[in-house]
Amino acid sequence: MLKRLASTALVALMTLTLLPAGGSAQAPIKIGVIEPLSGPVAASGNYIRMGAEIARDWINARGGVNGRKVELVIEDNKSDPKEAASAAEKLIVRDKVPAIMGAWGSSMTLAAMPKLEEYGVPMVVETSSAASITKRGNPWVFRISPPSEMEALGLEQYVDRLGVKKADFLAVNTDWGRGSIQAFGDMLKKKGVQIGAAEFMEQAATDMNAQITKIKATGGDTLFLTTAVEQITLVLKQGQEQRLTRKIVTTGGSSSPTQLIKQAGAAAEGSYHIVFFMPWFPEAMPDAKLAKAFVDEWNKRGHPFEGLTEGFRGHDGIATIVEAIKTAGKDEPKAIQEALWKVSFTGVNGPIKFEKDGPAGKESGQSKPSIFVVQVRDGKVGLPDFMKK
Partner 1 sequence: MDQLLQHLVNGLVLGGTYALLGIGLTLIFGLMSVVNFAHGEFYTLGAYAAFATLALAGLPFFAALLVAIAAGALLGAICERLLLRPLRGHSIDTIMLVMIGVWIAMQNAELLTWGGVARSIPHPFPTAPLTLGPLSIAPLRLFVVVTAAVIIALAWLGIHTTRLGTAMRATFQDRDTAALMGVPIGRIHTITFAFGSALAAAAGALLGPVFLAYPSMGDLASLKAFSVVILGGLGNLAGATLGGLLLGVAEELGAGYVSSGYRDAVGFVAIILVLMFRPAGLFARAERIG
In the list 86, 132, 173, 327, the residue contacting partner 1 (rule: CB under 8 A) is 173
Q: Identify which of residues 212 and 291 has a Cβ nearer to partner 1 in the complex.
A: 212
Are 132 and 155 spatial neighbours (Cβ–Cβ below 8 Å)?
Answer: no
Binding segment toward partner 1, per CB under 8 A, in 99-107, 157-165, 195-203, 339-347: 195-203
Q: Which is nearer to partner 1, 263 or 309 (CB)?
A: 263
> Judged by CB under 8 A, which of 40, 98, 139, 317 binds partner 1?
40
The contact mask relative to partner 1 for 229-248 (x = CB under 8 A, - = no) is xx--xx--x--xxxx-----
Q: Tell me: does residue 227 bind partner 1 (CB under 8 A).
A: no
The Cα–Cα gap between 90 and 87 comes to: 5
Question: Which helix H or strand E contains 230, and what residues bound it?
Answer: helix 229-241
Alpha-carbon distance of 270 to 281, in angstroms, equals 18
Q: Which of 157, 209, 245, 344 binds partner 1 (CB under 8 A)?
A: 209
Please report the sign of the dihedral spanned by the C-alpha atoms of residue 28, residue 30, residue 36, residue 39: positive
Q: Which of 57, 207, 296, 355 binds partner 1 (CB under 8 A)?
A: 207
Measure the CA–CA gap between 333 and 312, rounded to whole angstroms: 24
State the Cα–Cα distance between residues 224 and 243, nearest whole angstrom: 17
DSSP 319: H
Smaller CB separation from partner 1, 118 or 241: 241
Residue 202 touching partner 1 (CB under 8 A): yes
Q: How many CA within 13 A on the CB side of residue 109?
A: 32
Which of 27, 28, 38, 384 binds partner 1 (CB under 8 A)? It is 38
Strand residue runs (E) in the chain: 29-35, 70-76, 100-102, 123-125, 141-143, 166-172, 194-201, 222-226, 247-250, 272-275, 344-346, 351-357, 364-367, 372-377, 380-382
- Determine the distance from the C-alpha atom of residue 112 to the mean position of all C-alpha atoms in its chain, rounded to a whole number: 15
For position 180 contacting partner 1 by CB under 8 A, the verdict is: no
Q: Does 206 bind partner 1 (CB under 8 A)?
A: yes
Q: How far is the CB of 202 from partner 1 (least distance, A)?
A: 6
User: Which residues of the chain form contacts with partner 1 (CB under 8 A)?
Assistant: 37-40, 42-43, 45-46, 173, 199-202, 204-207, 209-211, 213-214, 217, 229-230, 233-234, 237, 240-243, 259, 262-267, 304
